[in-house]
Chain A
């Protein structure tokens, strides 16, 4: 079956712009989590959604937001981009909420100029 699909894979934005990243989970998976990966901070948890509800949120400013649709697809949005938002954004899905086995997508590489 298809894995976790993230789009776009690469994108370049300028400071002050906003960006929306998309994640399609594995079919049947209802939980989607997002992580930010940077060389300096490593892998950091952004948020987790289950059945269209945000269950958990990491320590990120309000510029970072997300949502989940009824088909379990998820989007995350970053507004007023800063240089420090340059990162690999990873989406992961699992069948249920909580600490389960996560299957990660290949990520969306965001570069902010």
Chain B
């Protein structure tokens, strides 16, 4: 069965500092990989996705993620965090054929001045 692990439940980062959110997955083949962000009281917004090809993926809001097959990881990064980046971030995996996303537990990001 596929699974997604986000080891960090909560991360505090200073505005302007870099951010890295970890995501590890368990899946029989290379799944489709996603990062979503959720602001309070809102739905999920897609930041970026990986289906195949270049393992470094660029997304919206200055985020990028790197797929590492050998480590079964898909970590999200941002070089310089803005206060508006405070939110909850979810990593998700999916089988290419089935429309079911398996989400990680999420990482809450707090941005301090």
Whether A58 sits at the interface, judged by CB under 8 Å, is yes
Separation in Å of the A86 CB from the closest CB of chain B? 16
Q: Could you tell me the distance between the alpha carbons of A92 and B100 in the complex, rounded to whole angstroms?
A: 11
Q: Could you tell me the distance between the alpha carbons of A98 and B41 in the complex, rounded to whole angstroms?
A: 27
A33 with B99: CB separation less than 8 A: yes
* Count of inter-chain pairs, beta carbons less than 8 A: 65
A104 with B99: CB separation less than 8 A: no
Q: What are the residues of chain B within 8 A of A58 when measuring CB–CB?
A: 100
Whether A103 sits at the interface, judged by CB under 8 Å, is yes
A105 with B100: CB separation less than 8 A: no
A42 with B106: CB separation less than 8 A: yes
B contacts with A, residue count (CB < 8 A): 25
Whether A66 sits at the interface, judged by CB under 8 Å, is no
With A99-B94, A101-B49, A104-B43 as known contacts, state yes or no: A48 contacts B103, CB within 8 Å: no
A107 with B101: CB separation less than 8 A: no
A45 with B44: CB separation less than 8 A: no
Residues of A within 8 A of B (CB): 4, 31, 33, 35, 42-45, 48, 50, 55-56, 58, 90, 92, 94, 97-107
